[in-house]
Amino acid sequence: MARILAMLSALCLLGITGSLQAADNVVLITFDGLRWQELFRGLDPELASHEEYSEQSERLLEDFWHDDPAMSASAIFPFLHGTVFQQGTVVGNRDLGSCAAVSNPWYFSYPGYSEILTGVVNESIDSNGKVLNPEKTLHELLNFNPDFRGRSAAFASWDVFPYIFNVERSGVFVNAFEPLVAPVGEAEALLNQLHIDIPPPWPTVRNDAFTHHFAMSYLRREQPRLLFISYGETDDFAHDAKYDEYIFAARRTDGFIREVWETLQSIDQYRDNTVLFITVDHGRGEEPIETWLHHASKRSVDGYMSSLSQYEEGIVGSDATWMAAMGPGIPSQGMRTTADCLTSNRIASTLLQLLGEDYRDYNPAMGVPLEIFVE
């Protein structure tokens, strides 16, 4: 009898821990090139009042300036600071001894996204060119699992994502820079029409509002188990030297993420069983001041990024990233200090672990899971 009871309680425990630890769904979100400096320190006073970089300085300072950097940061990112960092875990505030970085040697977008999505660094990915990714993303790898097959999707503002996901080979559903191929219902038809009628602000990047609302509509109707949303405006406004617009875009993106989370909690498929993980593909410079415009390693300014060759050391600090997550299995510990710098090639395996999967069954070459994000 005692043995039967012990067995029953062991089974019970297994059941409980199993359901508590594994999430059913993951939503992975990226801000392109949003610096940890703004995320944790808020407005940079010099850039925010800079004649050349902030034409709308007055509005920028009125909306977001505060003597306390944490208060300024909370004003730009009310959802991240008020909800994600409270209920979940965050790393990357270097002022507090918390370090996150890319481990690819280049510090620009394609290598950064590939590292996040595939969990490996392939040095042959050394440009932002439209080259089919030789590595497999989390989406493609999970297609080998019948529980996930066809249940993933990606929405992005930048037009290189179909190549990063290698859609020719993987068949992953990717909507990037273009209208939906097969819109469903009036709202998607209208979004498609606006997409055609409103010119994109950049040759290869669309407004994030399209990416966001396409993703939200797809989320509601298809309920994927793995959804990736890549917002791009922050990086493009920074390259355009518009610090004011960079901050306004960051504020909008925080609002988009809030809407994603609130929508998830309103749908049975997602409520209380969905991990939200947020990160960036690279950082930006800090010193000298104009290097906030750029991101490139010392190695890449000798090659693909030769337009920045006057910066002999590359754009120092542009490997710095940050990561934040909340949801089932993620400790509510807020900002965590780190002994070693946590790298982006460990995100994919972490997400697999949070889904109750072992990354070694998918690609043993991935960086190992980030224990800080796993309860």
In angstroms, what is the minimal distance from the CB of 47 to Zn ion?
A: 19
Of 188 and 235, CB closest to Zn ion:
235
Of 45 and 105, CB closest to Zn ion:
105
Of 106 and 210, CB closest to Zn ion:
106
Give the per-residue contact string, 227-266, with Zn ion (x = CB under 5 A; - = no).
Answer: --------x-------------------------------
Of 35 and 212, CB closest to Zn ion:
35
Q: Tokens in use for 102?
A: 């890319």
CA–CA gap between residue 289 and residue 53 (Å, rounded): 11
Q: CB within 8 A of 280, min separation 6: which ones?
A: 30, 31, 32, 33, 34, 112, 321, 322
DSSP string, 55-85: TTHHHHHHHH--SSHHHHHHHH-HHIIIIIH
| Residue whose structure tokens are 């697999």 | 352
Partnered with residue 334 across adjacent β-strands are 89
Residues 153-192, interacting with Zn ion (CB under 5 A)? none
In angstroms, what is the minimal distance from the CB of 11 to Zn ion?
A: 48
Residues 22-81, interacting with Zn ion (CB under 5 A)? 32-33
Helices (H) and strands (E) in the chain, counts: 17, 10
Of 25 and 109, CB closest to Zn ion:
109
Dihedral angle over CA of 286, 288, 294, 300, nearest 10: -100
In angstroms, what is the minimal distance from the CB of 280 to Zn ion?
A: 8
CA–CA gap between residue 325 and residue 28 (Å, rounded): 9
In angstroms, what is the minimal distance from the CB of 34 to Zn ion?
A: 9
Count of residues interacting with Zn ion (CB under 5 A): 5
In angstroms, what is the minimal distance from the CB of 39 to Zn ion?
A: 15
Of 88 and 112, CB closest to Zn ion:
112
Give the per-residue contact string, 81-120, with Zn ion (x = CB under 5 A; - = no).
Answer: ----------------------------x-----------
In angstroms, what is the minimal distance from the CB of 43 to Zn ion?
A: 21
* 110: nearest Cα among 94, 123, 129, 82: 129
**How, if at all, do strands 323-326 and 89-91 pair?**
antiparallel
In angstroms, what is the minimal distance from the CB of 158 to Zn ion?
A: 8
Of 115 and 235, CB closest to Zn ion:
235
In angstroms, what is the minimal distance from the CB of 142 to Zn ion?
A: 24
In angstroms, what is the minimal distance from the CB of 108 to Zn ion?
A: 6
**Would you give the DSSP letter of residue 267?**
S
> ∠ CA 181-185-189 to the nearest 5 degrees?
50
From residue 363, give the alpha-carbon distance in Å to each of 26, 83, 102, 130: 18, 33, 19, 24
Of 208 and 281, CB closest to Zn ion:
281
CB atoms within 10 A of CB 1: 5
Q: CB nearest Zn ion: which residue?
A: 109
Of 228 and 362, CB closest to Zn ion:
228
Cβ-in-10-Å burial (0-12, 13-18, 19+) of 181 comes to: exposed
Residues 267-306, interacting with Zn ion (CB under 5 A)? 281
Please give the residue ranges that form the binding site for Zn ion (CB under 5 A): 32-33, 109, 235, 281
